[in-house]
Chains A and B, each alone.
Chain A
Amino acid sequence: MRACFGRRYMISASHRLHTDALSAQQNQATYGKCNNPHGHGHNYVVEVLVGGCVDPETGMVINMVELDNVVRSRVIERFDHANLNLDPLFVNRVPTTENLCRAVFALLKDALPAGELERVRVEETENNFFECEGD
């Protein structure tokens, strides 16, 4: 029987929304406070949803400890307490939460020990979040 297992993780990171494709004035108009030259930070919540058949022996779609290990090594250690703008993934890409969400999906997609990655949700604050289903 197919079900989904979900797990929430926290990442604290800084970023600055800015693109060299726009003028200083356009950056300010587009990104507002998020364009502050010195950056700012968030406690991001990363929610990972894994779908698959429930293993009759374990009752699990995926073993949470194994999922935690993958998310920790591929996502949390990479982004937690880091400046997202300095990550190679964001050298030519603005570290909006949309792009962070896509990056997390890509980092996890082929690394899961069981099941398939159904959805990644990244909450930037309590009031805004972004979801990616890989398309």
Chain B
Amino acid sequence: MLRISGGKVYDPANGIDGVVKDICIAGGKIVPDVNAPGSPEPRSGEGGRTIDATGMVVFPGGVDVHTHVAGGALNFARGLVPENHRAARKFLHTPERRAGLGGMTPTTFATGYLYAGMGWTTVNEAAVPILSARHTHEELHDIPLVDKTTLVLMANNEIVMDLLEAGETERARDVVAWLIWAAKAYGVKAVNPGGVAAWKWGKNANALFQPVEGYQQVTPARIISSLASIADDLKLPHPMHLHCNNLGLPGNFTTTIETMNVIDGHRAHLAHLQFHAYGGDDWSSMRSESARVAEAFNAHKHLTTDAGAVLFGDAVTITADGPWQHLLHQLTGRKWGNLDVENETGCGIVPYVYKDRNLVNAVQWAVGLELLLLIDDPWRIFLTTDHPNGACFWRYPEIIQLLTDTEFRKAQVKQLPAKAQQRVVLADLDREYTMSEIAIITSAGPARSLGLSQKGHLGPGADADVTIYHEKPDDGRLFTYPRYVIKSGEIVVEDGDVRATTAGREFVVHPTCDNAIEEYLRQIFPKIYTMSFDNYPVEIERLRHAQIQPCQ
């Protein structure tokens, strides 16, 4: 039994907002406090350790709904940016810790240390092609301290698209279900629907209602609505996770709002909304359209999103959105990596620097914050930077500071180029996030969106993932260095140092499908893939700490 005593508890999922109360932990779970007044069987001297959390705040462990921490694309990016590794924070080998490097694309072990060191205990790797799922799970196994989920890339999968073209929606549903389990994934990711398939013809899919290159019937809108309905149909705990078309382009907010209308009636999560809320006709006239995007989003109650906020400084852009990455490479002249993942997807990598003197970058910086402030329900927008695209995840505390301190934020807006200040509305926003709202956008909200009922709260039965911060830290910036991080009931971080490294679990789903679908895939597979069908699915034994979440 571990008791956290005297801390101010923020547990918005259970309606607790800054109440001083004890949290008790046993067997890796939160348990009822037997010493609480009115408890049925008061006991004393239960034994075990007590953490004195007086003067501290107690949060449920952070949950990252959209990040890129493992897999073929990230590993390619690691290889592409050796200059970042030299500048990165070093993790020297210690008895508790493996060696590694932080930076833009941290090594596997360091990823776990950095996330847990900041108080985050669950992460969602948001883009996995089935063909590199095995590799991804091997890397995830080496990310200690945090629990993981993965989303499998589906919106440019040619088997699925061919079935949609032929109008075989039922079979498409079974294929998606089979592929999710084959990849041992947790949900469906859609990246630039149709655009990456078109990229193989040197094209993109910029219009939602025009057929994708190589197809007559299939349009991006069709792919989006089909996948959203399939995800709902399969009762996946997390809905379709969508990276909309036209990411990063001036004027793309219309596509984003159209997309919301296309999804209408289904659940969906719109990833990194910041990259999809721009107005203007070209780079010189680009401006923020966060107000209109937020207004549309506020009206679509079945959607969730994450910020994908940008911070000034170095980043590495990694995405399955191959055509966009090629454009970014042409815009910046920086080095470019491109991967072709057979029939499934593509991938592009371009190192990038967000500069505060740059008009476009300044608008991007503002848009991420504006969306966080203009979307009124914190249960529907979550804190992310689309790591490592907008900034590294270990810079989240900087965004929290911008959200909780209006004066500081406004002072930062004044530093932007005058031209950029006219293109954004951030200076007019006075909203200040409360502690409880921070707990929602960093933990309770994303956990609910991911359908992980055991995460993101501190009620009895929840996983004992708890982060305890000083209420008034010495450097004035809350959430940078947790005093304690508890993962599954074990104290893993104390005063910013990793004390113990436990392995994290991997949550997967096993949606039901017609068993005949395997035979169907087995027939067509040798004609279109370079590997044998029997080697294609990842065996469940490969995942050493797998836990199957129900589809209900």
Say whether A and B bind each other.
no
Listed in ascending order, the chain B residues whose CB lies under 8 Å from chain A are: none
